[in-house]
Structure formats: C-alpha cells, structure tokens
Amino acid sequence: METKDGLSYSVFGAPDLPRFVSELVMEICLNPLIQNRSDSKKIESSSHFALFTVSENDIINWIMLGRVLQRFLLKATQCGIACAFMNQPCEIAELSVTLRQNLFLSGYPVILLRVGYALPAAHSLRRPLSCFIKD
C-alpha cells in the first residue's frame, strides 16, 4: 500500500491481514491438493480457453508473442471479456510436453488464458506517474 506496487489483497478477493497472519495462512493453505481443487473449479467454470504458442522457444518469439498477447488482452477488455492467466500447464515441463502431445501442437505452449465474462474485479494498485519521472 505504501509504494502502490504489486497486488493488493482485494485483487485476490482476500481480506487485508497482517503479514504474519497471511504467511501462516499461505503456509497452511498453499499445497498441491488445495491448488488442484481450486484450479479444477476455475476450469469447470470457464467457458473458453486461449492457448498462445511460439514456433521456437526463444527470446525473439517470446517478444513477438508478448505483442500479440497485449493486443489480444486489450481487444478482449474493450469487448467486455475477462481473461485470467492459468499458466501452470505451460510452465511445468512435464505438463507442457503433455499439452503439446495431447493437442498435437507443432509449437511450444507459453500462455494459457481462461476467457469469458465475469464480474468486475478489484484493480491492482498503480504507482503515481511521478515515480517514473526523473528531474
């Protein structure tokens, strides 16, 4: 809150708790079983997914994909469509290989988005523009 940097609790739909309580909650609640259950609910409630791939898994292709992703997200927002990242299958090597094989992809999966209509969510904090302007 002080630096207006990062994500606030409200973005995650969580109450604003003291750090020591949050760390305890994360330690207790963040495990593979709970994460899988949460992800399954999100998958079941999603109407569509968008998978972004690159032909070569290198920096140039990542930059080009970033540009495409930016345009996609802006257009989706303009159309009132919500997008949420669900990248674990792309980031975990074994899952990424399985994804490539099961979907018969010639490229490499990089970004997986849940796409659909949703209620508005809290916005992340933004640093004031003055933080970026050098005198």
Q: What is the pLDDT along the chain (135 residues), one digit of tens a residue?
A: 666 666 666 666 667 777 788 788 778 877 888 888 888 898 888 889 999 999 999 999 999 999 999 999 999 999 999 999 998 889 989 999 999 999 999 999 999 999 999 888 777 676 666 766 776
Phi-psi region of 41 (alpha: psi -120 to 50; beta: other; left: phi over 0): alpha
Q: Domain ranges in the chain?
A: 9-131
State the CATH class of domain 9-131: alpha beta
> Is the whole model's pTM more than 0.85, yes or no?
no
Q: What is the pLDDT of residue 72?
A: 98
Rounded distance between C-alpha atoms, residue 88 and residue 39, angstroms: 10
Q: How far is CA 93 from the centre of its chain?
A: 18
Q: Which residues on adjacent β-strands are paired with residue 111? A: 52
The confidence score (pLDDT) of residue 96 equals 92
Q: Which residue has the tokens 């399985």?
A: 98
